[in-house]
């Protein structure tokens, strides 16, 4: 497994694979890898002859006062995990190397980035779409793999590749969870024992709303239940609870079309997100 921080080296390697007709898969990450990341690696390995994993804590997707400096960095351990998975190459550019002095270009996706996480992290998606575009340009993968855990991010990236005619297909893998349902996240390690236990409320609340939606409960009641469930947990501070259209991410009037329930919740300084697709069909008054 090649491990490099050199753009030219990874570009040349990926190019050589493409030239010899091998399908190249890309899994972009910020490292501190867990089973959620590895599930995407396995998908890439199953679909592509070659898999590149990138590890880069992208500064431009962190806002002022967010946890950039504290974000976990475990490169050696990450590489050992990826080697064991049979990954072909890891691109881990050093801090500072992806944004040159005078960097002035950004990729902006409108509309889809306005709500949910975009509302409380206004520059976040600009950072994500810019770094992902740069990684696509360097590696030029046939297919790139993202997790449903970051539902809005996956929707934004899919939109970006469509709108900008990027020749890469986007695959989204399901959320990998801990035994109590908490979505795996590199940030879970920051939770105290008590917070970690309390954080199970995200998954429970989403499951309850899914059951309510299946029963035909009206949208407003589903939303109210979601909010109330989080607010009932004293250690949880709600950033947002929303039910939005699964494609447009716009607020929905009823549950007649596929929708997604999405949450962002703080436990102390640690902000966790989670989501669940709600079954379409029954509108509550049918
Ligand atoms: P990150 O390192 O947090 O930027 O995540 C890198 C990729 O892994 C993103 O596409 C995430 O959506 C995905 N990912 C993170 N956590 C999970 C999870 N629990 N299950 C599935 N995919 C995940």
Does residue 270 form part of some domain? Answer: yes
Asked if 131 contacts 66 with a C-beta cutoff of 8 angstroms, the reply is: no
Q: With pLDDT > 90 as the criterion, what percentage of the chain qualifies?
A: 97
Mean pLDDT, residues 211-232: 97
Mean pLDDT, residues 136-156: 98
24 lines ligand 1 (CB under 6 A): no
For 240-267, what is each residue's pLDDT tens digit?
Answer: 999 999 999 999 999 999 999 999 999 9
Strands (E), the chain: 2-4, 24-29, 50-55, 89-91, 143-147, 169-173, 236-245, 259-267, 270-278
Q: Same structural domain for residues 219 and 115?
A: no
For 27-56, what is each residue's pLDDT tens digit?
Answer: 999 999 999 999 999 999 999 999 999 999
Q: Same structural domain for residues 249 and 108?
A: no
Q: Same structural domain for residues 61 and 101?
A: yes
Does residue 211 form part of some domain? Answer: yes
Distance 36 CA to ligand 1 centre (A): 6
- Print the domain residue range for 101: 2-173
Distance 79 CA to ligand 1 centre (A): 16
- Cα-Cα-Cα-Cα torsion 138, 143, 145, 151, nearest 10 degrees, comes to 100
By most ligand atoms within 8 Å of CB, the mutation choice from 66, 74, 117, 147 for ligand 1 is 147
Question: Residue 284 pLDDT more than 90?
Answer: no
The single residue of 37, 124, 142, 225 carrying the catalytic annotation is 37
Return d(Cα 286, Cα 284) in angstroms, integer.
Answer: 6
Q: Same structural domain for residues 24 and 46?
A: yes
Cα Rg, the chain, nearest whole Å: 19
Distance 115 CA to ligand 1 centre (A): 20
Q: Same structural domain for residues 15 and 136?
A: yes
Q: Same structural domain for residues 107 and 7?
A: yes
| CATH code of the domain in which 240 resides | 3.30.1300.10
182 lines ligand 1 (CB under 6 A): no
The structural domain count of the chain equals 2
Q: Which two tokens stand for residue 271?
A: 């902000």
127 lines ligand 1 (CB under 6 A): no
């Amino acid at each position: 497994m090649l491990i490099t921080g050199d753009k030219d080296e990874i570009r040349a390697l990926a190019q050589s694979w493409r030239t010899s007709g091998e399908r190249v898969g890309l899994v972009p990450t910020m490292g501190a890898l867990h089973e959620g990341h590895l599930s995407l690696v396995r998908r890439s390995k199953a679909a592509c002859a070659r898999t590149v994993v990138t590890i880069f804590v992208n500064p431009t997707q962190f806002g002022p006062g967010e946890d950039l400096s504290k974000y976990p960095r475990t490169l050696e351990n990450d590489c050992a995990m990826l080697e064991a998975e049979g990954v072909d190459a890891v691109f881990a550019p050093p801090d500072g190397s992806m944004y040159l002095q005078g960097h002035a270009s950004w990729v902006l996706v409108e509309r889809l980035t306005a709500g949910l996480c975009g509302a409380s992290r206004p520059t976040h998606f600009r950072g994500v779409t810019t770094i992902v575009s740069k990684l696509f340009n360097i590696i030029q993968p046939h297919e790139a793999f993202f997790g449903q855990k970051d539902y809005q991010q996956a929707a934004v990236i899919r939109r970006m590749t469509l709108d900008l005619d990027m020749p890469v297909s986007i695959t989204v893998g399901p959320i990998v969870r801990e035994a109590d349902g908490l979505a795996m996240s590199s940030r879970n390690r920051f939770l105290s024992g008590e917070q970690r236990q309390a954080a199970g409320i995200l998954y429970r609340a989403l499951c309850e709303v899914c059951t309510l939606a299946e029963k035909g409960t009206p949208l407003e009641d589903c939303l109210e239940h979601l909010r109330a469930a989080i607010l009932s947990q004293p250690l949880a501070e709600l950033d947002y609870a929303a039910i939005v259209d699964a494609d447009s991410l716009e607020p929905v009037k009823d549950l007649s079309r596929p929708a997604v329930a999405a949450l962002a919740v703080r436990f102390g300084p640690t902000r966790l997100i989670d989501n669940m697709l709600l079954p379409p069909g029954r509108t509550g008054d049918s």
